[in-house]
Structure 1
C-alpha cells in the first residue's frame, strides 16, 4: 500500500531527487517509500544498536558506584569493590549471552534491554554486601567478617534472585516468541549474576578485607599509619593515613547518609502522625493509579518499531498525516475448497462478502472480487456458470483479460482450493481504530457458515498481539506474585512480612500501570515485556527491607524499622540512583523501544524505592506487635553488654 517501487538504492534516490529539483526548483518534494518487508528489515538492521548505549550505561554505573563508595579514609575506601561490582554484572551478561548464542537461542531486539536490568540487580546486591560488611567489627578476622556479611546479606539476595529466575523461566512459556527469548536470556543472566556475586565479588571483598586488616592503602596496598600526627604534612594526612573506626561499636565509621537514616529519617518516619500522613499519601497514590489504569491505551503505532530517522517511520507518519482516510487493503480469504458454480452456495458466499461492506471502517465502493468480475463476464458471453465444467473451462479466459485475478485463485485441475477478495478500510487514524477494525472483521468472518473465511494483511501480525497482551500481562504479574509469595514464605521467617512483600507487587503494578497512562505509554507487546521485567525488579527493595526488619534484634517494631532503614536505606538509595542514572542514557535513544524501557523502568524503580523506604516500613510497624519476651531478652542483653 502506498509503496513506491520497493527498496530503491541510494544512486536511484539521488537521481530522483535531482530530477525533481530540476523540475521544481523552488520546492523540492520529499519522497517516502515502503514495502511489506521494510519494517522487518529495519528491525533486523538495528538489533545491535543497544550495545553503544550498553557501554555508556556501564561507564555511568562505574562512575556513580565509585563516587558513592568513595571514603576519605585511605584504608576503608571501597572504590575497587564498586568497580568489581559493576564488572560482576558485566561478566554475568557476557557469560549468559555467550552460552545462549552458542547453543542457538535467537537474539531479538527486546533482549537488548536485559543488560540494563542485570546491571541494576548486580549493583543493588553489591551495595547491600558493602553495607553489611561495614557493620562488622574491623578487628575480627576476615573469615568472621565475611561470615557475618553473608549471614545478613546473602539470604535477601537469594530471595530476590530465586524469585527473578523462577519468574523468567516461567515466562519462557509466553505466547510471544520475543518474550520467550527475552525471558530465557534474562533468567540465565540473573543466575550467573547471583553466582558471580557470592563467589567472584565475595572473593574480592575477602581480599579487600585482608588489605584493610593489614591497614594497607586502597591503591598502593602499602602499609600506612592509622593515626594522624602533628609532624605529618597536610597532603600526607590526606593521602597516606587511614584505618580509623568507631571505637564504641568496633565497626567502620558510618557514612553521613547512613547516619541520616538512623538518626533522622527513621525516627521521623515512625512518629504516629507521620504514619497517618504516609497512609493518606498512599491512598491518594492508589486512587490516582487506579484512575490511570482505566485510561490506559492499547496498541502500538507501527512507526514505533523503527528508528526515528528511518524511512519506515517517515513513510508511516506521512501516510497517517495525508492518507489516513484510506487504511489497509484487507484480503478476505476462502480457505477451503468451495463449489463456486453452485448457485445457492455462491449466493450465500456473496451475502457473507456483502457483510464485510457494512462496517463504517470499510468503503463499500472499493471492493475487488474476481468472482463478481467472472459473473459479469459470463453474463456478457451468455455462459452458464452454474455448470461446473463451463465454470472451470472459462476461467483461463478471465485470467487472460485480467491477469491480476490469477493470483486470487488457487486452481489445481478441477478443484479451486482457495481464493481471495479485497476490501478497503477507511478512517483508520490510530492504533485503537486498528484494534476495532481487526476485531470487527474477524467477527464478520466467524459468522459466515457457508465457507471458512479469514482476513489478512501483512500488518495484522502486529495487530494480533492486542488480543493477548492484556491477558498475558495479567498472567505474568500473577505468576510473579505467586512465586514471590511462595519464596517469601519459605525464606522470610514471618508470614505477615511475606504477605506484605507480595502485596507490594500488586501495589507497584497498579501504580506503574496508572502512571503509564498518565505518561502516554500504550500497553503493547513491547511495553508488556518491559513492564513484566521491571515489576519483578521492584520485589528486591521490599524483600530486602522486610527481611532486614524481621532479622533485626530490636524488640519494638519502630526500633526494628529504624534498624532496617539504617542498614539498607542508603544501599537502596544507591541502587536506585545508580540504576536510574544508568538507564537514563536510553532516554536519548532514537528507538522508541529503548525510550519506553527507560520510562517504565524509571517508574518501577522510583515507585519501588518509595515502597521500600516509606510504605513498607510504615505498614510493618503498624501490623507488627512486640512481645514481652523479646523486650525482656533484649533488655537483658543490653544490661550484660553495659556491664562488660
Structure 2
C-alpha cells in the first residue's frame, strides 16, 4: 500500500465539537554528547530548523495515517498549520549569541534565570539548564541543556485518544533519528508518559503471576505425592493454590471497589499472598500426616487443626499486624496501598484456609485409604492388593495369617518418608557437637555481614526506581537529576497572612525574609526574584502627589497597576478580599505569592538541605504564615527524612506486637524469647544483605523489610510452638519430634515461596528486583534459622532433664 493509499483520519471526526479537548505538553531536552556548551549560534539555529521539520512528522497507527497537525496547537492565522511559537526563542537566541555587540546593549540584560528586555523581565529558567554565569547579574556564558516544547491540543475522540501514545512515540523516534547527523543527544519527556510507564511496570509484572501459579501447582502436587496412599495429598495441595486465588479475587474486588489504587509497588502483592497462603497449607497437610490413621476422620482433623491451626493463626496475625503497622507508620501512599492490599489479602487468605481449605482436607480424609481426593479423578484407579489364591477357605491357615498380617499393619501406621528422614537422620545430625560448632561459626559470620550491611545502607529515593530499567524515562531522570532539577529551582512562596505594607516595621521585616531567602547557599540572588511589591512601589513613584505609604492600598492605583500591559503578569500572584466591605486605602490583599531562584542543587542531599533551610527560615516569620511549593517533589525529600525513623518505628512496633501475639499463643517464656530473637536476627540479616546487593533504604526496600518481619515469624513460630508442645522430655527427643512435624513443611513452604517469584527477574525494574532478592534472602536465611540455628539453640539451652529415678524405672520396664 503506497503512502497515498493509506487512509487518513477523517478531518470532520477529528474536529468534532462533541468531544472535550485534551491539552498536554511534550518537552524535549537537547544536549551535546560530551555535555559541552550548547548555547552557540550553529546549534541553536540547527535546533530551530529541526523543530520546523517536526511539524511535518506523520506516523501509522491501526492502518491509519496520522499527521502532526492532528494533535498540535494550531496557528491562529492558519488553522491547518501548527503553532511553533514555543520554540521561536531558539531563533532569537541564535541572533543574540551570533552578534557579540548585543551584550553591550543597555536595553538587554542577558541574566539567568530572568533576562530583562527594556527593563521587562522574561523568565528563561524553564528553557535552559546547566548554565554557566558570571558577574553580579548572573550573565549567561553558556549552558548544557536547552528545552523545546510541543503543545498538544486535540479532541478526545476514540481514534485520536488511542493514537496519542503512538504520536508521542513518533515524536521521540523523529528526534532520535537526528542524533547521528547532528552530534546532539535528545531526551524526551512527558508527564503522561511517566504515568504510562508506571502502568507498564504493573502490566509487565502482574502477568508473571500465571507462570508462578503454574510452577507452584506443579511443586505442591509432586511434593505431596507419596507411594503410601494415605500420605499422598496432591489434589488437596493443589486446592491450596485455588484457595489463595479465591482470597486474591476477594481482596482486589473489595479494595478496588473502595477506591484503593494498584500501583507498581503493589504489583508484587499477588506473589506474596501466593507464598503465604501455600505455606499455611503445607503446615496443615503436615499436621494431618502425623496423626494416627486409625482415628476417626473428625478426630484427626481436630488434632491437625490443634497442631497447625495455632501456628497458622500466629503467622497470620503477625503478617496482618506487620503490614497494618506499615500502613500506619509509613508516609508513602504507594507503600500504604501495598500494605493495605497485603494486610487484607492475608486476612482473606486466613478465612479461606480455615474454611474452604480445611473442608477440602476433611473431604480427602474420608477417602484416605483410596488415596484422598485423587481417587475422584477418573483416570486414577487405586490398584487392589493382590492375594495369593492358595486356599480360598475362610478358615484356612493362609487366610488366618493374612488377616493377622493386615491387623498388624493397621496397628502400626507407616510414617511419611520425608518426615521420617527429618526425625531419624537430620535431627540427630545437627545435634552433634562438631556440627553445632561449625553451625554457630557460620552464624557469627552471618551476623558480622548483616551488621556491616546495616551500617552502610544509604537513604536514596529517586523516581528512577519506580520505572523499568529499559524505560526511556531513565534517560530523562539522569539528565533531570544532573541539570533540570539542579538549576532554576524556583519555589513559589505563598504568603497567606500579608503584612500591612503601610507599617514600616512590618514592611522591613517582610523584606528581611525575602533578603534571607535570596542569600542562602544555593541562591541566585535578587536578580531572580519576582515580587509584585517592589514593582508596585516603583509604579507609585511615577505619580505626583501620591504617598507610597498612605496611598498603598488605593483601589484605583492597584487596579491601574495590575491592568496595565507591563505589569499584568503579576495579577495572578495576588488575591484580594471582597472590597465592598473594606474602606478604600485600607488593606485589601488577602494573600500573594513571590518567587526566587536557586541553582547548583545537583543531588538529593543538596535538595534536602536546601528545602529544610527554606522551611527553617519561614518558620522564623510565623506572622506571615508562608509556605512553599512548586519545586522538585518535596514529598520525596520528606520521605528521605522520614523513612529511617519510620523504618525503626515500624520495626519496633512490630517487635512489640509480635511479643504480645507470641505470649498469647505460646505461653512459654523461652519460646517467646526465641521467636523475638529470630525475628530480629532475620530482619537484620535481610536489611544488611540487601545493602550488600546494592539496595538503598527507600520505600521499596522498606516494604521488603516489613515483609521480612512477617516471614521471619513464620519460620520461628512454627518451630518454637511445636518444640513447646512436644510431649517428650529430653532435648534430643524434642528436637526429633519438632523437626518430624514441621521440618518438611517448612522446607516445602520456603521452596514454594521461592518458586512463586522465579519469573520476576524477567521484569527489568528495581522495585521488582528488590522484592525478588528479599524473598530469596528471607527464605534461605529463614530456613537456616528455622531448621538449623534455632533448633540447635533450643536443644542446647533446654536444661530440663528427666530425673535419674524415672530413667532407671523406664529402663527396667523396657528390659
TM range (shorter): 0.7 to 0.9
Is the alpha carbon distance of 1:180 and 1:25 closer, same or farther for their aligned partners in structure 2, counting shifts above 3 Å? closer
Q: Is 1:250–2:405 an aligned residue pair?
A: no
The residue number in structure 2 matching 1:474 is: 648
Q: Is 1:53–2:208 an aligned residue pair?
A: yes
Q: Is 1:531–2:730 an aligned residue pair?
A: no
* Residues 176 and 186 in structure 2, CA contact (< 8 A), matched pair in contact too: no
Pairing of 1:482-631 with structure 2 (within 5 A):
482-628=656-802
The residue number in structure 1 matching 2:451 is: 290
Of residues 359, 374, 381 in structure 2, which corresponds to 1:222?
381
CA distance, structure 2, for counterparts of residue 621 and residue 154 of structure 1? 24
* Residues 298 and 523 in structure 1, CA contact (< 8 A), matched pair in contact too: yes
Of residues 237, 255, 266 in structure 2, which corresponds to 1:111?
266
Pairing of 1:158-557 with structure 2 (within 5 A):
158-174=313-329, 175-214=331-370, 218=375, 219=377, 220-226=379-385, 250-256=412-418, 258-321=419-482, 323=484, 325-326=486-487, 328-364=489-525, 367-371=528-532, 374=535, 377-378=538-539, 381=542, 385-389=548-552, 393-394=557-558, 396-397=560-561, 400-412=565-577, 413=579, 415-448=588-621, 451-457=624-630, 459-557=633-731
* Residues 482 and 603 in structure 2, CA contact (< 8 A), matched pair in contact too: no
Is the alpha carbon distance of 1:255 and 1:79 closer, same or farther for their aligned partners in structure 2, counting shifts above 3 Å? same
Question: What's the secondary structure of 2:575's corresponding residue?
Answer: strand
CA distance, structure 2, for counterparts of residue 328 and residue 81 of structure 1? 61
Is the alpha carbon distance of 1:34 and 1:376 closer, same or farther for their aligned partners in structure 2, counting shifts above 3 Å? farther
CA-CA distance at 1:461 after TM superposition: 2.4
CA-CA distance at 1:73 after TM superposition: 5.1
Q: Write out per-residue CA displacement over residues 507-531 of structure 1, whole angstroms, 9 at most, x where no aligned residue.
A: 2222222223222222223332332
* Residues 668 and 724 in structure 2, CA contact (< 8 A), matched pair in contact too: yes
Is the alpha carbon distance of 1:261 and 1:429 closer, same or farther for their aligned partners in structure 2, counting shifts above 3 Å? farther
CA-CA distance at 1:366 after TM superposition: 5.9
Q: Write out per-residue CA displacement over residues 515-551 of structure 1, whole angstroms, 9 at most, x where no aligned residue.
A: 2322222222333233213312220110001011112
Is the alpha carbon distance of 1:370 and 1:89 closer, same or farther for their aligned partners in structure 2, counting shifts above 3 Å? same
CA distance, structure 2, for counterparts of residue 39 and residue 500 of structure 1? 46
The residue number in structure 2 matching 1:238 is: none
Is the alpha carbon distance of 1:84 and 1:34 closer, same or farther for their aligned partners in structure 2, counting shifts above 3 Å? same
CA distance, structure 2, for counterparts of residue 487 and residue 152 of structure 1? 17
Question: What's the secondary structure of 1:563's corresponding residue?
Answer: helix
* Residues 229 and 371 in structure 2, CA contact (< 8 A), matched pair in contact too: no
CA distance, structure 2, for counterparts of residue 209 and residue 38 of structure 1? 55
Q: Write out per-residue CA displacement over residues 152-200 of structure 1, whole angstroms, 9 at most, x where no aligned residue.
A: 2212112212232344445553444444443333232222212222322
Is the alpha carbon distance of 1:306 and 1:611 closer, same or farther for their aligned partners in structure 2, counting shifts above 3 Å? same
CA distance, structure 2, for counterparts of residue 95 and residue 101 of structure 1? 10
The residue number in structure 2 matching 1:233 is: none
CA distance, structure 1, for counterparts of residue 306 and residue 166 of structure 2? 67
Of residues 232, 237, 257 in structure 2, which corresponds to 1:102?
257
Question: What's the secondary structure of 2:187's corresponding residue?
Answer: coil
CA distance, structure 2, for counterparts of residue 520 and residue 327 of structure 1? 32
* Residues 7 and 33 in structure 1, CA contact (< 8 A), matched pair in contact too: no
CA distance, structure 2, for counterparts of residue 635 and residue 27 of structure 1? 95
Deviates more, 1:427-436 or 1:16-25: 16-25
Q: TM-score, normalised by structure 2?
A: 0.69
CA-CA distance at 1:224 after TM superposition: 1.4
Is the alpha carbon distance of 1:227 and 1:482 closer, same or farther for their aligned partners in structure 2, counting shifts above 3 Å? farther
* Residues 138 and 245 in structure 1, CA contact (< 8 A), matched pair in contact too: no
The residue number in structure 2 matching 1:121 is: 276
CA distance, structure 2, for counterparts of residue 165 and residue 352 of structure 1? 49
The residue number in structure 1 matching 2:50 is: none
The residue number in structure 2 matching 1:235 is: none
* Residues 726 and 737 in structure 2, CA contact (< 8 A), matched pair in contact too: yes
Deviates more, 1:579-588 or 1:64-73: 64-73
Q: Is 1:133–2:295 an aligned residue pair?
A: no
* Residues 385 and 391 in structure 1, CA contact (< 8 A), matched pair in contact too: no
* Residues 757 and 772 in structure 2, CA contact (< 8 A), matched pair in contact too: yes
CA distance, structure 1, for counterparts of residue 307 and residue 725 of structure 2? 8
Question: What's the secondary structure of 1:389's corresponding residue?
Answer: coil
Q: Write out per-residue CA displacement over residues 534-583 of structure 1, whole angstroms, 9 at most, x where no aligned residue.
A: 31222011000101111222212233223212322222122112112212
* Residues 139 and 213 in structure 1, CA contact (< 8 A), matched pair in contact too: no
* Structure 1, gaps ≥5 residues long: 231-243
CA distance, structure 1, for counterparts of residue 808 and residue 554 of structure 2? 100
CA-CA distance at 1:215 after TM superposition: 5.7
* Residues 508 and 608 in structure 1, CA contact (< 8 A), matched pair in contact too: yes
Question: What's the secondary structure of 1:503's corresponding residue?
Answer: helix
Q: Write out per-residue CA displacement over residues 446-499 of structure 1, whole angstroms, 9 at most, x where no aligned residue.
A: 233553222223511232222332222222222221221112112113111112
CA distance, structure 2, for counterparts of residue 42 and residue 404 of structure 1? 36
* Residues 93 and 189 in structure 1, CA contact (< 8 A), matched pair in contact too: yes
Question: What's the secondary structure of 1:555's corresponding residue?
Answer: coil
CA distance, structure 2, for counterparts of residue 20 and residue 176 of structure 1? 36
Relative contact order, higher structure (CA 8 A, sep 6+): 1
CA distance, structure 2, for counterparts of residue 565 and residue 99 of structure 1? 39
Deviates more, 1:567-576 or 1:83-92: 567-576
Is the alpha carbon distance of 1:609 and 1:400 closer, same or farther for their aligned partners in structure 2, counting shifts above 3 Å? farther
CA-CA distance at 1:87 after TM superposition: 1.1
Question: What's the secondary structure of 1:574's corresponding residue?
Answer: helix
* Structure 2, gaps ≥5 residues long: 1-125, 128-146, 154-163, 390-405, 580-586
* Residues 138 and 213 in structure 1, CA contact (< 8 A), matched pair in contact too: no
Is the alpha carbon distance of 1:261 and 1:76 closer, same or farther for their aligned partners in structure 2, counting shifts above 3 Å? closer
* Residues 505 and 538 in structure 1, CA contact (< 8 A), matched pair in contact too: yes
Question: What's the secondary structure of 1:401's corresponding residue?
Answer: coil
Q: Write out per-residue CA displacement over residues 124-160 of structure 1, whole angstroms, 9 at most, x where no aligned residue.
A: 1111222222223344443333233223221211221
Is the alpha carbon distance of 1:557 and 1:73 closer, same or farther for their aligned partners in structure 2, counting shifts above 3 Å? closer
CA distance, structure 2, for counterparts of residue 598 and residue 279 of structure 1? 27
Deviates more, 1:475-484 or 1:73-82: 73-82
CA distance, structure 2, for counterparts of residue 90 and residue 484 of structure 1? 27
